[in-house]
Amino acid sequence: MTIVIPEKPAAALAQLRHAGIRAWAVGGAVRDSLLGRPAEDWDLTAACMPGQLAAALPEAKPIGGAYGTVSWHGVEITPCRAEAGYTDHRHPDSVCFGGSLETDLARRDFTVNAMAWDGEALTDPYHGAADLAARRLRCVGAPEVRFGEDALRILRLFRFAGTLDFDIDEPTRAAALALAPSLATVSAERVRGELNKAMKGERPSRLGPLLAAGGLEAFGLAGKRLAAQAQETAGTKEAAETVKAAGFSGAQLKMPAPADLLAPLDAVPQSLLCRWWALIHLTGSDAHKCAEAFCFGRSFCKDFARLDDWFDAGCPQDVHALKLALLAPVPFSAADAAETFAAISPAFAPLPALYAALRKSGEPYQKEQLAITAPELMVEGVPGRCIGRVQQCLLKAVIDTPEMNNYPTLAQMARSLKHMV
């Protein structure tokens, strides 16, 4: 087993070693390298005090406040630490430096995140490599204790289940769900960061059990629908067991399992806007409450409302109706929106093909496709303040009759419109 460390973190390790300091790559980069996935960011830990770290890497900039983390050419390096006590479920009461690699790994959340690589050998005290091979998430130490220390780990668990497509070891899962409501104690900023990572992953639907357990209610993400569905599933399973016990074979059992309410989320394009919109829609959550809790920006909320409007108007029946639906500008990818609607509602199943047909036809439906530009409209005498409205009128005309999309026809129309709009 070997891990290829990129140039910068390898250079940092070499420089630290040269200064007599033992250092290791740790956390996500080790996990992802062993999985054969590209590693996002390389974190190093060094067995030294913060002052020694600064002396060994003079160009490093401090970024970690109390944790003593420094950034050296984009590589984050933290002195090995040992922590004591988490009274608020969020922050360690104190951070003690001068810890060993063992104490540093012991404070990490999951076994697959608690491995270290020094350039030659793997340190893996919690059998993270075996869990990686089994595609299994397991807490380092007693799950109820670890989730009690920092409730964000509960969300990270379901986030990793979705991004890595791993199963969750039963004691870890049970403790996470039992303690799910304690996520309310975590800052919205940390929760949003993890949720965004989950949303960008392969299977955001893996958040389902956490939502059903009410883990994100405090942030406006409703769990009721999912909880009801979980109960229904349990009921169906129980009924199936009873029928089976009465002597019917599996083939005779025609008990439909209720569909996983969140499953469609995985088929939604991996854009944050579309995934958030679909999550809120599928869970029946209050978009305003979420936007407030997570401080979504104004443009995000505007795009969100535009998606709502488009969805509420129903699926356009033909290319002409689609062009009219796109008349009000769409500030996001219309193709992504079409895929999103189709993923969550069978009524929108024809939309992606309809949109593709529109693109292929080359028929105009956006002002950029008009055969007359804004400066040309001004040359034709349309005052600057009227350009937008004139363009809308021209667009409506060419949507109905694409053959009108030529300069002389549009220029003539614009000249007669300039007094009317």
Q: Candidates 148-156, 169-177, 357-365, 395-403 — which segment interacts with ligand ATP by CB under 6 A?
A: 148-156
Considering beta carbons, is residue 55 or 272 the nearer one to ligand ATP? 272
Whole-number Å distance between alpha carbons of 99 and 42:
20
C-beta separation of 157 from 137 below 8 A: yes
Number of residues that bind ligand ATP (CB under 6 A): 12
Using CB under 6 A, pick the residue from 53, 152, 176, 222 that binds ligand ATP. 152
Of all residues in the shown chain, the one whose CB is closest to ligand ATP is: 28
Beta partners for residue 72, in sequence order: 75
Q: Candidates 15-23, 145-153, 247-255, 335-343 — which segment interacts with ligand ATP by CB under 6 A?
A: 145-153
C-beta separation of 45 from 79 below 8 A: yes
Using CB under 6 A, pick the residue from 17, 91, 197, 320 that binds ligand ATP. 197
Q: Does 109 bind ligand ATP (CB under 6 A)?
A: yes
Considering beta carbons, is residue 6 or 350 the nearer one to ligand ATP? 6
Q: How far is the CB of 40 from ligand ATP (least distance, A)?
A: 5
**With CB cut-offs between 5 and 8 Å by kind, which of Mg ion, ligand ATP, none does residue 108 bind?**
ligand ATP
For residue 168, the surrounding DSSP H or E stretch is: strand 167-168
Which DSSP state fits 114? -
Q: Does 91 bind ligand ATP (CB under 6 A)?
A: no
Whole-number Å distance between alpha carbons of 282 and 402:
38
Of the candidates 194, 269, 259, which has an alpha carbon nearest to the alpha carbon of residue 225?
259
Q: How far is the CB of 108 from Mg ion (least distance, A)?
A: 12
Using CB under 5 A, pick the residue from 10, 11, 19, 28 that binds Mg ion. 28
Considering beta carbons, is residue 197 or 389 the nearer one to Mg ion? 197
Considering beta carbons, is residue 81 or 108 the nearer one to ligand ATP? 108
Considering beta carbons, is residue 41 or 309 the nearer one to Mg ion? 41
Strands (E), 74-145: 75-79, 81-84, 94-97, 116-117, 122-123, 136-137
Q: Does 192 bind ligand ATP (CB under 6 A)?
A: no
For residue 400, the surrounding DSSP H or E stretch is: helix 387-400
Q: Going by C-beta distance under 8 Å and a sequence separation of 6 or more, which residues neighbour residue 384?
A: 378
Which string of b and e fits 18-54 if b means at least 16 CB within 10 Å? eeebebbbbbbbbbbbbeeeebeebbbbbbbebebbe
Would you call 45 helix, strand, or coil by DSSP?
Answer: strand
Whole-number Å distance between alpha carbons of 291 and 280:
11
Question: Amino acid identity, residue 318?
Answer: D
Q: What are phi and psi of 61, to 5 degrees?
A: -110, 135
Q: Does 64 bind Mg ion (CB under 5 A)?
A: no
Site string for Mg ion, 124-163 (x = CB under 5 A): ----------------------------------------
C-beta separation of 190 from 152 below 8 A: yes
Q: Does 108 bind ligand ATP (CB under 6 A)?
A: yes
Using CB under 6 A, pick the residue from 12, 21, 25, 27 that binds ligand ATP. 27
Considering beta carbons, is residue 29 or 57 the nearer one to Mg ion? 29
Q: Does 28 bind ligand ATP (CB under 6 A)?
A: yes
Using CB under 6 A, pick the residue from 124, 131, 150, 169 that binds ligand ATP. 150
Place of tokens 């350009």: 387
The binding site for Mg ion (CB under 5 A) comprises: 28, 41
The binding site for ligand ATP (CB under 6 A) comprises: 27-28, 40, 43, 108-109, 113-114, 150, 152-153, 197
